[in-house]
Amino acid sequence: MLTARQQHCLQAIGITAWQSRSSISTELEVEEQVVEQFIKPPIKEISTAPPSQQETVKIEAQSFELNDWPQLLDSIESCQNCALAQSCTRKVPGKGLQQADLMIIGEAPGHDEDLQGIPFVGRAGQLLDKILQAIQLDPNQVYITNILKCRPPNNRDPHIDEVQACSQFLQAQIRLIQPKVILSIGRISAQNLLKDHSPLGKLRDKDHVLPGTNLPLLVTYHPAYLLRNPAEKAKVWHDMKALLRLLNNE
Protein backbone atom coordinates (compact mmCIF):
# COMPACT_ATOMS: atom_id res chain seq x y z
CA MET A 1 0.00 0.00 0.00
CA LEU A 2 1.39 3.41 -0.96
CA THR A 3 1.52 6.20 1.59
CA ALA A 4 0.10 9.63 0.74
CA ARG A 5 3.65 10.98 0.35
CA GLN A 6 4.58 8.17 -2.01
CA GLN A 7 1.44 8.75 -4.06
CA HIS A 8 2.34 12.43 -4.29
CA CYS A 9 5.85 11.61 -5.55
CA LEU A 10 4.49 9.16 -8.11
CA GLN A 11 1.98 11.72 -9.28
CA ALA A 12 4.73 14.32 -9.65
CA ILE A 13 6.53 12.19 -12.21
CA GLY A 14 3.29 11.00 -13.75
CA ILE A 15 3.33 7.35 -12.68
CA THR A 16 -0.22 6.14 -12.16
CA ALA A 17 -0.52 4.28 -8.88
CA TRP A 18 -3.07 1.51 -8.76
CA GLN A 19 -3.93 -1.17 -6.25
CA SER A 20 -3.16 -4.68 -7.38
CA ARG A 21 -5.92 -7.25 -6.91
CA SER A 22 -3.30 -9.88 -6.15
CA SER A 23 -1.09 -9.65 -3.11
CA ILE A 24 2.01 -9.70 -5.31
CA SER A 25 2.16 -7.13 -8.10
CA THR A 26 5.51 -6.89 -9.80
CA GLU A 27 4.77 -3.54 -11.40
CA LEU A 28 3.58 -2.02 -8.16
CA GLU A 29 6.66 -3.32 -6.39
CA VAL A 30 8.83 -1.67 -9.02
CA GLU A 31 6.93 1.58 -8.54
CA GLU A 32 7.28 1.37 -4.78
CA GLN A 33 11.03 0.94 -5.20
CA VAL A 34 11.01 3.95 -7.49
CA VAL A 35 9.21 6.02 -4.87
CA GLU A 36 11.51 4.83 -2.11
CA GLN A 37 14.41 6.20 -4.10
CA PHE A 38 12.62 9.37 -5.18
CA ILE A 39 11.85 10.45 -1.64
CA LYS A 40 15.35 9.77 -0.34
CA PRO A 41 17.53 12.89 -0.33
CA PRO A 42 20.74 12.73 -2.34
CA ILE A 43 23.53 11.22 -0.30
CA LYS A 44 25.53 14.43 -0.43
CA GLU A 45 25.33 17.86 -1.96
CA ILE A 46 26.46 18.30 -5.52
CA SER A 47 29.78 20.09 -5.77
CA THR A 48 29.47 23.86 -5.97
CA ALA A 49 33.18 24.38 -6.46
CA PRO A 50 33.82 27.10 -9.04
CA PRO A 51 34.85 25.78 -12.48
CA SER A 52 38.45 26.94 -11.82
CA GLN A 53 38.72 24.39 -8.99
CA GLN A 54 37.23 21.57 -10.99
CA GLU A 55 39.23 19.37 -13.26
CA THR A 56 39.51 21.03 -16.64
CA VAL A 57 37.53 19.26 -19.30
CA LYS A 58 39.63 18.30 -22.28
CA ILE A 59 37.73 19.55 -25.28
CA GLU A 60 39.47 20.41 -28.50
CA ALA A 61 38.60 23.92 -29.62
CA GLN A 62 37.31 23.47 -33.16
CA SER A 63 35.91 26.95 -33.72
CA PHE A 64 38.00 29.79 -32.45
CA GLU A 65 35.32 32.39 -33.10
CA LEU A 66 32.91 30.97 -30.54
CA ASN A 67 34.93 31.47 -27.40
CA ASP A 68 32.47 33.53 -25.37
CA TRP A 69 28.72 33.50 -24.80
CA PRO A 70 27.83 36.77 -26.58
CA GLN A 71 29.69 35.61 -29.72
CA LEU A 72 28.11 32.20 -29.54
CA LEU A 73 24.57 33.47 -29.05
CA ASP A 74 24.99 36.01 -31.87
CA SER A 75 26.31 33.29 -34.17
CA ILE A 76 23.35 31.03 -33.43
CA GLU A 77 20.94 33.92 -33.95
CA SER A 78 22.42 34.85 -37.33
CA CYS A 79 23.15 31.29 -38.51
CA GLN A 80 21.93 30.41 -42.01
CA ASN A 81 24.01 27.25 -42.34
CA CYS A 82 21.05 25.01 -43.16
CA ALA A 83 17.48 25.34 -44.43
CA LEU A 84 15.97 25.06 -40.94
CA ALA A 85 17.01 28.66 -40.28
CA GLN A 86 14.37 29.70 -42.84
CA SER A 87 11.58 27.39 -41.69
CA CYS A 88 11.84 27.87 -37.92
CA THR A 89 10.12 30.70 -36.04
CA ARG A 90 12.90 31.32 -33.51
CA LYS A 91 16.35 29.98 -32.77
CA VAL A 92 16.51 28.00 -29.54
CA PRO A 93 20.09 28.20 -28.16
CA GLY A 94 19.63 26.81 -24.64
CA LYS A 95 18.61 27.73 -21.12
CA GLY A 96 19.97 27.50 -17.61
CA LEU A 97 23.19 28.05 -15.75
CA GLN A 98 26.26 28.71 -17.87
CA GLN A 99 28.49 27.22 -15.14
CA ALA A 100 26.34 24.14 -14.59
CA ASP A 101 27.72 20.82 -13.40
CA LEU A 102 25.05 19.06 -15.42
CA MET A 103 24.41 19.67 -19.11
CA ILE A 104 21.33 18.05 -20.62
CA ILE A 105 21.18 17.58 -24.38
CA GLY A 106 17.94 16.77 -26.16
CA GLU A 107 17.07 16.43 -29.81
CA ALA A 108 15.62 19.61 -31.31
CA PRO A 109 13.06 22.28 -30.47
CA GLY A 110 9.42 21.30 -30.84
CA HIS A 111 6.36 23.46 -31.49
CA ASP A 112 6.31 25.32 -28.15
CA GLU A 113 10.07 25.78 -28.03
CA ASP A 114 10.05 27.15 -31.59
CA LEU A 115 7.49 29.78 -30.59
CA GLN A 116 9.22 30.80 -27.35
CA GLY A 117 12.89 30.39 -28.30
CA ILE A 118 13.48 28.36 -25.12
CA PRO A 119 14.17 24.59 -24.98
CA PHE A 120 11.96 22.12 -23.14
CA VAL A 121 9.03 24.37 -22.30
CA GLY A 122 6.30 22.02 -23.59
CA ARG A 123 4.87 18.92 -21.91
CA ALA A 124 8.11 16.98 -22.29
CA GLY A 125 9.99 19.87 -20.68
CA GLN A 126 7.57 19.98 -17.78
CA LEU A 127 8.14 16.28 -17.16
CA LEU A 128 11.89 16.80 -17.41
CA ASP A 129 11.66 19.50 -14.72
CA LYS A 130 9.71 17.12 -12.47
CA ILE A 131 12.28 14.37 -12.97
CA LEU A 132 15.08 16.78 -12.03
CA GLN A 133 13.16 18.06 -9.01
CA ALA A 134 12.48 14.50 -7.90
CA ILE A 135 16.24 14.00 -7.55
CA GLN A 136 16.49 17.39 -5.86
CA LEU A 137 18.16 19.14 -8.77
CA ASP A 138 16.93 22.65 -9.51
CA PRO A 139 16.12 22.87 -13.26
CA ASN A 140 17.57 26.42 -13.20
CA GLN A 141 20.91 25.10 -11.96
CA VAL A 142 21.51 22.85 -14.97
CA TYR A 143 22.09 23.83 -18.61
CA ILE A 144 19.64 22.43 -21.16
CA THR A 145 20.05 22.51 -24.92
CA ASN A 146 19.49 20.41 -28.02
CA ILE A 147 21.50 18.87 -30.84
CA LEU A 148 19.69 21.30 -33.20
CA LYS A 149 18.95 24.92 -32.39
CA CYS A 150 16.13 25.15 -34.97
CA ARG A 151 12.90 23.14 -35.15
CA PRO A 152 12.71 20.63 -38.01
CA PRO A 153 9.36 20.91 -39.85
CA ASN A 154 6.67 18.78 -38.18
CA ASN A 155 9.25 17.59 -35.65
CA ARG A 156 10.81 15.20 -38.16
CA ASP A 157 14.15 13.62 -37.27
CA PRO A 158 17.13 15.90 -37.87
CA HIS A 159 19.02 15.30 -41.11
CA ILE A 160 22.73 14.57 -40.93
CA ASP A 161 23.68 17.82 -42.69
CA GLU A 162 21.60 19.78 -40.17
CA VAL A 163 23.33 18.05 -37.26
CA GLN A 164 26.71 18.79 -38.81
CA ALA A 165 25.82 22.43 -39.47
CA CYS A 166 24.76 22.88 -35.83
CA SER A 167 27.49 20.85 -34.14
CA GLN A 168 29.92 23.79 -33.84
CA PHE A 169 27.39 25.49 -31.54
CA LEU A 170 26.98 22.49 -29.29
CA GLN A 171 30.75 22.01 -29.12
CA ALA A 172 31.17 25.65 -28.15
CA GLN A 173 28.49 25.33 -25.45
CA ILE A 174 30.21 22.28 -23.98
CA ARG A 175 33.56 24.04 -24.07
CA LEU A 176 32.19 27.17 -22.36
CA ILE A 177 30.17 25.33 -19.72
CA GLN A 178 32.77 22.65 -18.93
CA PRO A 179 30.10 20.50 -17.26
CA LYS A 180 30.93 17.67 -14.94
CA VAL A 181 28.46 15.30 -16.59
CA ILE A 182 26.40 15.26 -19.78
CA LEU A 183 22.95 13.69 -19.78
CA SER A 184 21.85 12.77 -23.27
CA ILE A 185 18.10 12.35 -23.54
CA GLY A 186 16.53 10.37 -26.32
CA ARG A 187 17.72 8.30 -29.24
CA ILE A 188 18.60 11.16 -31.61
CA SER A 189 20.70 12.92 -28.99
CA ALA A 190 22.49 9.77 -27.87
CA GLN A 191 23.20 8.42 -31.35
CA ASN A 192 24.59 11.74 -32.56
CA LEU A 193 26.66 12.49 -29.46
CA LEU A 194 28.12 8.99 -29.24
CA LYS A 195 28.32 8.50 -33.00
CA ASP A 196 26.76 5.11 -32.40
CA HIS A 197 23.54 4.11 -34.08
CA SER A 198 22.63 1.35 -31.64
CA PRO A 199 19.08 1.48 -30.29
CA LEU A 200 18.62 3.62 -27.20
CA GLY A 201 17.94 0.55 -25.06
CA LYS A 202 21.52 -0.56 -25.77
CA LEU A 203 23.06 2.86 -25.13
CA ARG A 204 21.49 3.59 -21.74
CA ASP A 205 22.66 2.07 -18.44
CA LYS A 206 26.31 2.39 -19.54
CA ASP A 207 29.15 4.71 -18.54
CA HIS A 208 30.06 6.57 -21.72
CA VAL A 209 32.56 9.32 -22.40
CA LEU A 210 31.70 12.01 -24.93
CA PRO A 211 33.94 11.23 -27.93
CA GLY A 212 36.90 13.62 -28.20
CA THR A 213 36.62 14.65 -24.53
CA ASN A 214 37.00 13.18 -21.05
CA LEU A 215 33.42 14.07 -20.13
CA PRO A 216 31.24 11.36 -18.60
CA LEU A 217 28.01 10.93 -20.53
CA LEU A 218 24.85 9.09 -19.54
CA VAL A 219 21.94 8.24 -21.78
CA THR A 220 18.30 8.04 -20.79
CA TYR A 221 14.87 8.04 -22.37
CA HIS A 222 13.40 11.27 -23.71
CA PRO A 223 10.55 12.63 -21.56
CA ALA A 224 8.34 12.77 -24.69
CA TYR A 225 8.85 9.00 -24.97
CA LEU A 226 7.95 8.64 -21.28
CA LEU A 227 4.70 10.52 -21.87
CA ARG A 228 3.81 7.83 -24.43
CA ASN A 229 5.34 4.94 -22.47
CA PRO A 230 4.94 5.66 -18.75
CA ALA A 231 6.02 2.14 -17.82
CA GLU A 232 9.60 3.11 -18.77
CA LYS A 233 9.78 5.69 -15.95
CA ALA A 234 11.27 3.12 -13.60
CA LYS A 235 14.26 2.81 -15.97
CA VAL A 236 14.67 6.59 -15.99
CA TRP A 237 14.73 6.57 -12.21
CA HIS A 238 17.53 3.99 -12.37
CA ASP A 239 19.38 6.32 -14.76
CA MET A 240 18.81 9.31 -12.45
CA LYS A 241 20.43 7.47 -9.55
CA ALA A 242 23.48 6.81 -11.74
CA LEU A 243 23.49 10.49 -12.68
CA LEU A 244 23.51 11.57 -9.03
CA ARG A 245 26.39 9.20 -8.29
CA LEU A 246 28.43 10.77 -11.09
CA LEU A 247 27.60 14.32 -10.00
CA ASN A 248 28.56 13.42 -6.43
CA ASN A 249 31.81 11.70 -7.54
CA GLU A 250 30.65 8.36 -6.15
Distances (CA, A) of 184 to 28, 136, 205: 28, 19, 12
Radius of gyration of the chain (CA): 19
3-class secondary structure, 140 = helix
Q: Is-contact 221 237, C-beta < 8 A?
A: no
Q: Is 96 or 109 the residue whose CB approaches ligand URA more closely?
A: 109
Query: What does the alpha-carbon distance between residue 158 and residue 108 come to, in Å, rounded to a whole number?
Result: 8
- The nearest distance, CB 69 to ligand URA, in angstroms, is 19
What is the x/- site pattern for ligand URA, positions 97-136, by CB under 6 A?
---------xxxxx--x-----xx-x-xx-----------
- Is there binding between residue 143 and ligand URA (CB under 6 A)? no
Q: Is 108 or 176 the residue whose CB approaches ligand URA more closely?
A: 108
* Sheet of 102-106, strand order: 95-96, 143-146, 102-106, 181-185, 216-220, 208-209
What is the x/- site pattern for ligand URA, positions 182-201, by CB under 6 A?
----x---------------
- The nearest distance, CB 109 to ligand URA, in angstroms, is 5
Q: Is 124 or 200 the residue whose CB approaches ligand URA more closely?
A: 124
Distance from first CA to last CA of the chain, Å, rounded?
32
- The nearest distance, CB 145 to ligand URA, in angstroms, is 8
Residue showing the smallest CB distance to ligand URA in the complex: 106
Site for ligand URA in 217-246 (CB under 6 A): 224
- The nearest distance, CB 186 to ligand URA, in angstroms, is 6
Query: What does the alpha-carbon distance between residue 82 and residue 150 come to, in Å, rounded to a whole number?
Result: 10
Parallel, antiparallel or unpaired: strands 208-209 and 216-220: antiparallel
Q: Is 146 or 192 the residue whose CB approaches ligand URA more closely?
A: 146
Binding-site ranges for ligand URA (CB under 6 A): 106-110, 113, 119-120, 122, 124-125, 146, 186, 224
